A and B are shown apart, each in its own frame.
Chain A
């Protein structure tokens, strides 16, 4: 992720107080940022609260952005920090009920769109996805976070290193431990794959 010329101009204008440029910058990454926040909380209300708080923090501290990472990475770092902080404050391990509750509602569905799969396979896949999310909630926050970033959001190891401000080596060891732990939790409550 690098900074484009256009983005760089927008950042400078936003730093000088241009509201529209700030909004345009935010718009370029708000979809992924929301998706990330949603995975921490598993409900749209908390995800929106976290996102709003993150964006206001970004507005307040835009002048500190030096371009050492891409703007998006910087945004995702603030979103990740804000989500963690909010979760810690609430001391809430979000119940898996909330995840299942939103299944089928307008703004969110668990359906995995894959036209090439038959109905049975499709159902099986949906079941497994639901169950995996239940297992994910049983992980410590640090491990849940890295699974969200790597396996759900698909960030590279280097991007995760920048987002979490940790070395790539730490990313590797954390991913390794988290995946093995998730598998262990998965197998405890379910027949083997």
Chain B
């Protein structure tokens, strides 16, 4: 084993974190190499010093300060509950967006269905900016395929969850694109090729998490904040970020 390789492994050797064979090889190398011995000595001394730094005591005021903040948090929760407002939760928030996506899809399919029957109102033949799309559609005359899709989407189309959405696109292709963005799950590799900004934020996120994930949803809102719904193997987390930062949303 040469000195370069030994030096690279010394930080783990000193914690006995290498396998037995590697530990033994390095031990043998150190017996005959003063340079590597010096590096090991320096690394150990640094770690020893860091380990001896006294732990600061928590300021006495913290207890009172936290208790006050906790009370406020509890009161806020009670107040919101009394007013009938659910505490904002990311899962509900994302659910809303999936409903929006469903609305887009139904809207698009409805447009095609009506086009075939020449029974579509003007605004759906040629969606313009600001057109309101709603799931309140009479599907009685739609072909079987479209009806089947509507039935399949029923769970997110109850009256209480009906959404109307401003459509800012130019044509039905834009609708497909938006609905697709909101529904697709993408792996990290598949995200490559999407707009530059999105890649940047995901790179930040990947560096931070350092584990494989699937992007369930991502977009930028009106306030220029990016939102990501990320699924790891065992958990799903949402992130949002602005100005080059990403943090876990509450």
Task: Determine if B74 is an interface residue (Cβ-Cβ < 8 Å).
Answer: yes
Among B11, B58, B59, B211, contact of A176 (Cβ-Cβ < 8 Å): B11
Among B17, B52, B56, B248, contact of A35 (Cβ-Cβ < 8 Å): B56
Taken together as a complex, chains A and B put the C-alpha atoms of A44 and B12 apart, in Å, by 32
Task: Determine if B137 is an interface residue (Cβ-Cβ < 8 Å).
Answer: no
**Given A165-B211, A176-B9, A193-B45 in contact, is the A111-B54 Cβ separation under 8 Å?**
yes
Task: Determine if B154 is an interface residue (Cβ-Cβ < 8 Å).
Answer: no
Chain A 125-161, CB within 8 Å of chain B: the 1/0 string?
Answer: 1001100110010000010000100011010010000
- Contact, CB under 8 Å: A176 / B8: yes
Taken together as a complex, chains A and B put the C-alpha atoms of A192 and B65 apart, in Å, by 45
A–B Cβ pairs within 8 angstroms, 30 of them: A30-B58, A30-B62, A32-B55, A34-B58, A34-B62, A35-B56, A44-B56, A51-B62, A52-B69, A55-B66, A84-B208, A91-B245, A107-B57, A125-B49, A132-B49, A132-B50, A136-B50, A151-B46, A151-B50, A166-B211, A172-B17, A175-B11, A176-B8, A176-B11, A176-B12, A179-B43, A179-B46, A180-B11, A182-B46, A183-B46
Task: Determine if B247 is an interface residue (Cβ-Cβ < 8 Å).
Answer: yes
Listed in ascending order, the chain A residues whose CB lies under 8 Å from chain B are: 19, 22-23, 26, 30-32, 34-35, 38, 44, 47-48, 51-52, 55-57, 59-60, 81, 84-85, 88-89, 91, 107-114, 125, 128-129, 132-133, 136, 142, 147, 151-152, 154, 157, 164-167, 170, 172, 175-176, 178-180, 182-183, 186-187, 192-193
* B residues less than 8 Å from A22 (CB atoms): 70
What range describes how many residues of B lie at the interface? 35 or more
Task: Determine if B86 is an interface residue (Cβ-Cβ < 8 Å).
Answer: no
CB distance from B5 to the nearest CB of A (A): 12
* A residues less than 8 Å from B58 (CB atoms): 30-31, 34, 51
Additional A-B contact list (11), CB under 8 Å, known A107-B59, A151-B46: A22-B70, A23-B70, A48-B59, A109-B54, A112-B53, A114-B52, A125-B52, A128-B49, A129-B49, A183-B46, A186-B46
Task: Determine if B116 is an interface residue (Cβ-Cβ < 8 Å).
Answer: no
- Contact, CB under 8 Å: B210 / A166: yes
Among B11, B62, B245, B248, contact of A48 (Cβ-Cβ < 8 Å): B62
Taken together as a complex, chains A and B put the C-alpha atoms of A72 and B59 apart, in Å, by 20
Binding site secondary structure of chain B? helix
- Contact, CB under 8 Å: A88 / B245: yes
Nearest A-chain residue to B57, judged by Cβ: A107
Task: Determine if B41 is an interface residue (Cβ-Cβ < 8 Å).
Answer: yes
Task: Determine if B250 is an interface residue (Cβ-Cβ < 8 Å).
Answer: yes
* A residues less than 8 Å from B73 (CB atoms): 56, 59-60
* B residues less than 8 Å from A151 (CB atoms): 46-47, 50-51
- Contact, CB under 8 Å: A56 / B69: yes
- Contact, CB under 8 Å: B11 / A88: no
Taken together as a complex, chains A and B put the C-alpha atoms of A192 and B43 apart, in Å, by 12
* B residues less than 8 Å from A34 (CB atoms): 56, 58, 62
- Contact, CB under 8 Å: A113 / B247: no
Task: Determine if B138 is an interface residue (Cβ-Cβ < 8 Å).
Answer: no
- Contact, CB under 8 Å: B42 / A132: no
- Contact, CB under 8 Å: B50 / A180: no
CB distance from A149 to the nearest CB of B (A): 11
* A residues less than 8 Å from B191 (CB atoms): none
Task: Determine if B160 is an interface residue (Cβ-Cβ < 8 Å).
Answer: no
* A residues less than 8 Å from B162 (CB atoms): none
* A residues less than 8 Å from B46 (CB atoms): 132, 151, 179, 182-183, 186
- Contact, CB under 8 Å: B52 / A129: yes
- Contact, CB under 8 Å: B70 / A56: yes
